[in-house]
Structure 1
Amino acid sequence: MSQITLHSLVSDIVTAVPQTADLFRKLRIDFCCVGKVELEQASRNLNLDPMQVLSEVLNIEQKQKGYAENQPATERSEKELITHIQQKHHAYLRDELPQLTPYITKLARVHGEKHPHLLRVQEIYTSLKRELLDHTEDEDQVVFPRIINFVNDPTSEAAKALEPHVLELENEHESAGDLLKELREITHDFEPPADACGTYRLVYQRLALLEKDTFEHIHLENNVLFEKVRAAM
């Protein structure tokens, strides 16, 4: 059961479920400068229905829990692993990457002069976003269907056709991993400065979550799914 109620502070809600910042931003509920206010009062201040806002918050919380739960066992079949990857990791990336973009842009614009590394954070994030979205699209439309076809009919011809695609995905995983490693390095392990504003802290928190999910995603493909496929070749 959720611990979030109408009496939860807006700032605490965003800390617990960072993606709720997107909802508050849309509703013009300030979670940054004046976030130490209960959700009910923050909603009423803007003539919003508190129960409706709470319902939307809880839906976001439940959605994020769905991404994080049900880690797949290595005993799952290739088809089951693919379904899990698509429903957990691909869905998360397609939700999170576009929604995090305006915060990255704002952070670089407002604080980039004083903290120049944030301009590099924006550059890395832009590249990472493009690579990951293109990567997941290629997996869904090209590579995963080829894997399923190979599993259903494991001929030498199908294996030969599939192998270059798997190698390409592994190379792309390495590239994404390098970008994430640089992000961690220049943000000092995603630790914001002591005087950081709410947006600054939110971006670092969500980048850390993005890193965690992406490395789990890469591990699941490189070390579980692709190993199963190669074992059948």
Structure 2
Amino acid sequence: MSQITLDQHVSDIVTAIPQSADLFRSLRIDYCCGGKISLQEAAAQRNLDPSDVLTRVQEIEEKRETRAQMEPSSFGEKTLIAHIQEKYHTGLREELPLLAPYVTKVARVHGENHPHLLRVQEIFKILRTELIDHTDDEDQNIFPLILEFLANPTPELREQLKPHVTELEQEHDNAGRLLHELREITDNFTPPAEACGTYRLVYARLEQFEKDTFQHVHLENNVLFDRVREAI
């Protein structure tokens, strides 16, 4: 049931539902300096039907709530881990072997004129090896231990799990440093003007790989591991 009413101040609605700012902007309803008036009054000032504006705000609110329910951060531990495994671990195992030949080809063909590509190839090889080993360890050992601990947080399981979480976060930090270097040496994944299709493909897929990895690490470090730390 929506909590938004015609009596609420426009500014308060935007605070509660930031996406409503786009609607108010399009309707030329001031939600900033003149936002301390009710939605009823603001709509009337613009010769708009207040009920119609309210309905549109409520639709935005409903979409926002639906998205929130689908946010991985709201998942239970088992569902969250399954999501990480299906979306990110499986994705890594599929994408990295497919991308590898293109990275090798671009480094071989263009490395002489663009020496940084040799470092791109080197970083990619390191990340490919380390991330696959990392995800295998999580799937086979750490995630089952996390679920066991969260279901039954005994002192023995706590002491068994703590060093693993610390190690995983250190591995995440190392991957982050390598990805940061990758972005720097590729000028934010911007290919040169004369770059061929394969060159551009590699940069585009490396950028997507970076995005997916950061989302992956965020869910583990800031959601899953935080829950573990709270239980510890």
- Whole-angstrom CA distance in 2 between matches of 1:220 and 1:90: 12
Residue 121 of structure 2 is aligned to residue 122 of structure 1: yes
Using the TM superposition, give the Cα deviation of residue 74 of structure 1 relative to its aligned residue in structure 2, in angstroms.
Answer: 2.1
Q: Do the aligned partners of 1:72 and 1:84 also contact (CA within 8 Å) in 2?
A: no
Aligned to 2:91: 92
- Whole-angstrom CA distance in 1 between matches of 2:134 and 2:121: 20
- Whole-angstrom CA distance in 1 between matches of 2:90 and 2:145: 20
Superposition pairs for residues 108-119 of structure 1, below 5 Å? 108-119=107-118
- Provide Cα deviations, 1:154-212, integer angstroms capped at 9, x if missing partner: 11111111010000000000000000000000000000000000000000000000000
For structure 2, the 5+ residue unaligned runs are 1-68
State the TM-score, normalized to the length of structure 1.
0.69
Aligned to 2:160: 161
Identity %: 63
Using the TM superposition, give the Cα deviation of residue 113 of structure 1 relative to its aligned residue in structure 2, in angstroms.
Answer: 0.3
Q: Do the aligned partners of 1:191 and 1:204 also contact (CA within 8 Å) in 2?
A: yes
State the TM-score, normalized to the length of structure 2.
0.69
Using the TM superposition, give the Cα deviation of residue 230 of structure 1 relative to its aligned residue in structure 2, in angstroms.
Answer: 1.0
Using the TM superposition, give the Cα deviation of residue 72 of structure 1 relative to its aligned residue in structure 2, in angstroms.
Answer: 3.4
For structure 1, the 5+ residue unaligned runs are 1-69
Give the residue type in structure 1 aligned to 2:153. Answer: P
Q: How many residues were matched structurally?
A: 164
User: 1:170 aligns to what SS in structure 2?
Assistant: helix
Give the residue type in structure 2 aligned to 1:106. Answer: K
Aligned to 2:19: none
User: 2:193 aligns to what SS in structure 1?
Assistant: coil
Q: Do the aligned partners of 2:72 and 2:83 also contact (CA within 8 Å) in 1?
A: no
Aligned to 2:204: 205
Q: Do the aligned partners of 2:190 and 2:203 also contact (CA within 8 Å) in 1?
A: yes
- Whole-angstrom CA distance in 2 between matches of 1:71 and 1:91: 20
Aligned to 2:136: 137
Aligned to 1:13: none
Using the TM superposition, give the Cα deviation of residue 111 of structure 1 relative to its aligned residue in structure 2, in angstroms.
Answer: 0.3
User: 2:74 aligns to what SS in structure 1?
Assistant: coil
Superposition pairs for residues 60-99 of structure 1, below 5 Å? 72-99=71-98
CA-based RMSD: 1.1
User: 2:73 aligns to what SS in structure 1?
Assistant: coil
Aligned to 1:60: none
| Higher RCO by CA contacts (8 Å cutoff, separation 6 or greater) | 1
Query: Which structure would you say has the larger Rg?
Result: 2
Distance 1:137 1:207, change over 3 A: same
- Provide Cα deviations, 1:22-80, integer angstroms capped at 9, x if missing partner: xxxxxxxxxxxxxxxxxxxxxxxxxxxxxxxxxxxxxxxxxxxxxxxx96332221111
- Whole-angstrom CA distance in 1 between matches of 2:173 and 2:124: 16
- Whole-angstrom CA distance in 2 between matches of 1:72 and 1:175: 26
Aligned to 1:104: 103
Aligned to 1:43: none
Give the residue type in structure 2 aligned to 1:116. Answer: P
